[in-house]
Structure 1
Amino acid sequence: MAVHNRTLNIIASKLGLTEEKIFNKAAEFERLLQTKTVAGSNITDTSKTVICLDLAAELLGADLDVKTAVRYSGLKPSAYTNIRKIVQNLLDLNENKLTTLVLCNTLQCSTVQTLADKILDDYQKQAKIALDFSLPQYVCMAVFQACRISKVKIPKSKIVERSRLKPVQWGKLDVEWTKFVDENFAASKKKRGRPAKNTDSQKDNNEMEVDSLAKTEDTKESQIEPYKDWKKRILSAAYKELEIARKQQIQMSKLSPRRSPRKTPQKASPYKSPSKAVRLLFPLNF
């Protein structure tokens, strides 16, 4: 057996892996990971070793109990699955690697693939730290931003799911990428103004407008009525209306004769003594 680090040998024995080729392949994966950045600073060396053994066993067709591997990695099952996929992408072991072409075809937005590749390349050039841009979150974000500035509607829930990020992580990455894309790509998508017309055509149009305005003013002046005629016409119309109103008033007065005002009957006073005398039951002098 070749000499490997002690942790690798111990964990391999715990997982029931005894083949020399698995040890060699897992050690090779560990050396490659040292030159790459793994997302998440809370990943321990033990977790990396377990995942490398898991990938080596899968690649060489050896049996491995996944539950046992998760237990020795010290990670939760969901975290183990996510980190395993990240390491798999870093080591170029994933045959179904997510690309902008695959994602655009899946989401039916192939028209933005070229723009998504351009965004991904430019962001990679300005990145201050070394990142693996083949990871699904960067591919998904590039396609998402390309669809945003191109105004192509896609289901956001699906693209977030393909990114393998939590909503909070996606939100932080979205803010960073949106700022970058707006500064470098959104300006080129704005509509430009129409080209100016030729000078000769502008002159011809101006002359035609002046001629049409002059003709309109002439027709307006010819249609203006003199003041005396207007005054005479207005007064005659007013006199006719007054005469008609006076005749109608006379006819109404003939048809409805005036009635005398109705007299209001006087009410009897409550303090007035009755007309009949009252006979006393007992005489006053007895």
Structure 2
Amino acid sequence: MAIVEPRLLSQMIQKLGLMDHEQLVPKSTELLRLLQIKSVGSSANLGDYAKAIICIDLACSLLGLPPCDSEALVRLSGLKKTAYANNRRTLEKLLDISQVIGINEICIQLGLHQAQKEATVLLDSYKKYIGGADGEVDFTHPQYAAMALYQACKRLKIKPPKSKLVAFSHLKPTLWTLLEKNWDKFLANASKTHVLKSKQSQPVEMMEPAKETTQVPINGLKHSSPEKIEPYGNWKKRMLEKAYRELKSLQER
């Protein structure tokens, strides 16, 4: 793999509107050189230009810079959205800088801060729902965070950026559809059992039981009297009489 010249790398960064960040060129160059050392067959089919764009993207994340324009990155790389996301994930692993993409990271990238809290609640409930049935599940996979945000947006009446969330999930459209169906089933079950409530009300299991109060007559008004307990002797006599009547009825048949 040929290393993209710093001048050309600077031009790419300029096109992305990131020239104000002086550390970006050396960090991107560092990642490209490291990638050359670790280059294996899995990245052989990816063009040098696309690798450089992805390394700029990764450098931004490592330096804690504001997220790049995802559409601009995909356009400059010459890849399709799904291919870009998959190759970015591959290079992360090759460079040993793989980061867990969670709800917070996706919210920052897509500007969905208003759905973050709801998505977190949904994901925590989903973990409990699926954990007992399927055993150990790798919830660090971005598909769960992406789907939780998608469902949170729908519940909050926010139009979810579905195509972008699918890209974050690293799932093919068919697998996303299967996951969405699984979530629909989970949400339907949660709704029936009142596990999830709107923000205005608490989950049933979190509500405190109503405290018992002793009714006190006010100004002579009538109030409900406590339930009377039948004396044991009366109950025993009544049960014996009932049993005797049933036995006699059976004998007469």
TM-score after normalising by structure 1: 0.38
Which structure's CA Rg is the greater one? 1
